[in-house]
Structure 1
Amino acid sequence: MAGAYGYIRVSSTDQNESRQRIALERQAIRSDRIFMDKLSGKDFQRPQYQAMLKKLRAGDLLCITSIDRLGRNYEEILEQWRIITKEKRVDILVLDMPLLDTRRDKNLLGTFIADLVLQVLSFVAQNERENIRSRQAEGIAAAKGRGVRFGRKIKPLPDNFLENCDLWRNGQISGLEAARRCRMPQSTFYRKAGRLRENDANSV
């Protein structure tokens, strides 16, 4: 007997999935047939998605709230659509785009219209993601221009670093001993000493 399944994807573990779940439950999909991944779209090895694919049988229905639940870019969305509808012969319903309901108009014209709408929406979804990344990059560049620092916070040098750095440069102690006194790995000591020398040279 054919069954209805739902798939939810959220981009991170702190994103609320309730909106998608409520929309799927309104389609009378049982809770045990709703699969959810809380992973980045950049990594398509989604365990729940893969588990759902194994469950799907010919004649089943897969409901998703939006076309971009299927993949991270234009090509991947089309490929997953092909696998589900052509290879597994499962119908797909995209809730925010009723035209993408493969149960309707299974003749040649209906299939053509659904495929055309799919390609347009997939292209739009990818462009929107690229626009978001572009805006994020612009925002980061603007923040850096204002002096905002990104990445790990740089630890201050130990109070005795300059003293031991001078002793090491003058050959009075080894690099290993200088690093031990400063309580840092030897490679870190050398790196910070090198940067200190560069800064001194630039200030001359």
Structure 2
Amino acid sequence: MTQTILYARVSTADQNLDHQLSQATAAGFIIDDVVSDHGVSGISVPLAERPNGRRLFDKLRQGDTLVVRWVDRLGRNYQDVTDTIRHFMRQGVVIKTVINNLTFDGATRDPMQEAVRDALIAFMAATAQAQAEAIKEAQKAGIEAAKGDRERYRGKKPTYDRGGLDKVRDMLATGSGTSEIAKAVGVSRQTVLRIKSDPAAAETALARWGL
């Protein structure tokens, strides 16, 4: 009997995993089981070395479906993400994303379809790593700016925390409206628009305040 498993991951202790399941359910996925890792980096810890991520390699069988919010939940390292997706496809597992509703299936034998699929996997994995590096640089810049006259450089404290910023990004990526996001996260519409227009500045603001 085939199963659909959601893999969810957050990298810090103050983030919440619940919205990843809520998003998957809202997108129409019927989830049989959830495997999750809490407070685990997607950059430095490969999926196979995470406390629960490694369980996927034992649980998933041919015909099963692995659902993730986006490929960055599998990891933010290009090589690890591409190796992981290709491993599961070789096992006959279908990988689906909630955001963008993408499907990666190893069943196709058409060379053109394979080429398009592999190029998309590579692009998304590279994007996940690039985003991680951009976040790291923004945080570094925020920390540097906060040195010295701390109150002068920190500016106004953000009305959102790490979990709130991630939720705004998730909802923006799935096409949610500004008012809907503001209500769900508990911030103003202006805050949502600022995050949308300059996500790096939002990261910097969190770093300046140590959030």
TM class by smaller structure = 0.5 to 0.7
Q: Greater Rg, structure 1 or structure 2?
A: 1
Percent identity, please: 30
The residue that corresponds to 2:92 in the other structure is 89
CA contact (8 A) 2:66 2:96 kept: yes
Residues 66-98 of structure 1: CA deviation (Å, up to 9, x unaligned): 011112311111111121112x22111112133
Higher RCO, Cα 8 Å, sep 6+: 2
The residue that corresponds to 1:168 in the other structure is none
CA contact (8 A) 2:37 2:53 kept: yes
Residues 115-148 of structure 1: CA deviation (Å, up to 9, x unaligned): 1111111111111111111111111111113258
Tell me the TM-score normalized by structure 1: 0.64
Length, aligned pairs only = 145
Please give the secondary structure, in 2, of the residue aligned with 1:21. Answer: helix
Distance change in 2, residues 1:134/1:29 (3 Å): same
Please give the secondary structure, in 2, of the residue aligned with 1:2. Answer: coil
CA contact (8 A) 1:7 1:36 kept: yes
Distance change in 2, residues 1:22/1:103 (3 Å): farther
Summarize the alignment of residues 71-86 of structure 1 with structure 2, pairs less than 5 Å apart. Answer: 71-86=75-90
Tell me the TM-score normalized by structure 2: 0.62
The residue that corresponds to 1:52 in the other structure is 56
How much is the aligned-residue C-alpha RMSD, in angstroms?
Answer: 2.0
Q: Which runs of 5+ in 1 are unaligned?
A: 149-204
CA contact (8 A) 2:77 2:129 kept: yes
Distance change in 2, residues 1:136/1:14 (3 Å): same
| Cα distance in 2 between the residues matched to 1:18 and 1:29 | 13
| Cα distance in 2 between the residues matched to 1:90 and 1:40 | 24
CA contact (8 A) 1:99 1:114 kept: no
Summarize the alignment of residues 33-44 of structure 1 with structure 2, pairs less than 5 Å apart. Answer: 33-38=33-38, 39-41=40-42, 42-44=44-46
| Cα distance in 2 between the residues matched to 1:102 and 1:47 | 26
* Aligned mate of 2:128, from 125, 128, 131: 125
| Cα distance in 1 between the residues matched to 2:86 and 2:106 | 15
